[in-house]
Amino acid sequence: MGKEVLNDNSENVQKRKKIYGKKDDDRRSLDVDDGGKVISWYSSIVKLISEHGMWKMLQALGLIVISVFFLMFANALNNEEIIEQWLIKNDDVHTEGTNIRNEVSPKVNNVLLKMMYELNADRVCVLEMHNGKENPTSLPFIYCDMTYEHTRDRIPYVSDEYEDLNMAKFTFPYYLYEHKLFIGSVEEIYTIDKRLAMRLDMNNVKYVAIIYVRGSSDIGFLMVSYMDKPNVSDEKIHDSMIYYVQEIGAYLDYEVQHRRKYSE
């Protein structure tokens, strides 16, 4: 009985050797195949050289390098052409915008002068919004500049004091965005926007009319101000502001002026 067990064990050992020995051979074969890729490539290169010669191989390699360089150069030229076209287009848009600004500025000034004398105002002006900066998440800050201003007699100009005004610091623009027009005293503005009221106080302003200017998008504000209570009625101021803001808005709307320019 014990001998038969030994024989069985001996047979099992032999079987295991055959099985695992075969697996070990296969594993070594696979390892050699994986590690022999470099040798295979080397053999292929040697074979190509022996068949075609070193000089022809170098020529072929040179052609490949030149082709790759040419493709890269052509792609660079294409990218440069795209960038150049983009820059030219932007330059054309800027030039057109500058030309339009030069054309409309005298018209805007004429409207403001007409308003100033019609409403017997001390100052008339336009404040235009612009986006010059943004926070790290690309959320823009909205700024405002007094771009046009006319004053009566010897009343000083204040436009230099109204440059790059950060709109987020004022609450009055949001009031106008909702109500469109305000006519009243600076004391009333104190209840809406203390910062703006204090600035107007510094300019000796007592009474104002401010209206939101909008075209194809938000443009800014049209303002008429008085150093004393005006001798014209609020109804007259209201009607004039409603009428002239449309004209001002059309002049300062790039899209409107662009369409007009190319329809002529």
| pLDDT, tens digit, 9 for 90 and up, residues 138-152 | 777 889 999 999 999
Residue 42 is predicted with a pLDDT of 54
Asked if residue 86 belongs to a domain, the reply is no
Asked if residue 77 belongs to a domain, the reply is no
Domain range holding 51? 2-67
Q: Which residue among 67, 87, 119 closes a domain? A: 67
Distances (CA, A) of 27 to 32, 39, 134, 233: 9, 19, 62, 101
Asked if residue 159 belongs to a domain, the reply is yes
Question: Do both 131 and 239 map to the same domain?
Answer: yes
Question: Do both 112 and 200 map to the same domain?
Answer: yes
Collect all residues with Cβ–Cβ distance below 8 Å to 22 and sequence separation of at least 6. Answer: none
Question: Do both 33 and 148 map to the same domain?
Answer: no
With beta carbons less than 8 A apart as the criterion, state whether 184 and 212 touch: no
The H or E element containing residue 106 is helix 54-118
DSSP 134: E
Question: Do both 105 and 183 map to the same domain?
Answer: yes
Q: Which residue among 28, 48, 67 closes a domain? A: 67
Residue 6 is predicted with a pLDDT of 44
DSSP SS3 for 159: helix
Asked if residue 82 belongs to a domain, the reply is no
Question: Do both 238 and 115 map to the same domain?
Answer: yes
User: What Rg value do the Cα atoms of the chain yield, rounded?
Assistant: 41
Q: Can you read off the two tokens belonging to residue 205?
A: 């302003």
Q: Which residue among 13, 44, 67 closes a domain? A: 67
Q: Considering Cα of 235, then 218, then 87, then 138, what sign does the dihedral take?
A: positive
Question: Do both 45 and 166 map to the same domain?
Answer: no
Residue 182 is predicted with a pLDDT of 98
Residue 56 is predicted with a pLDDT of 66
Question: Do both 171 and 226 map to the same domain?
Answer: yes
Total domains in the fold of the chain: 2
Residue 176 is predicted with a pLDDT of 93
Question: Do both 125 and 183 map to the same domain?
Answer: yes
Question: Do both 146 and 250 map to the same domain?
Answer: yes
Taking 70 as the pLDDT cut, the residues of the chain under it are 1-60, 70, 73-94, 132, 264
DSSP SS3 for 183: strand
Residue 1 is predicted with a pLDDT of 45
Q: Name which of 144, 123, 112, 139 is nearest 219 in CA terms.
A: 144
CA separation for the pair 212, 201 (Å, rounded) = 21
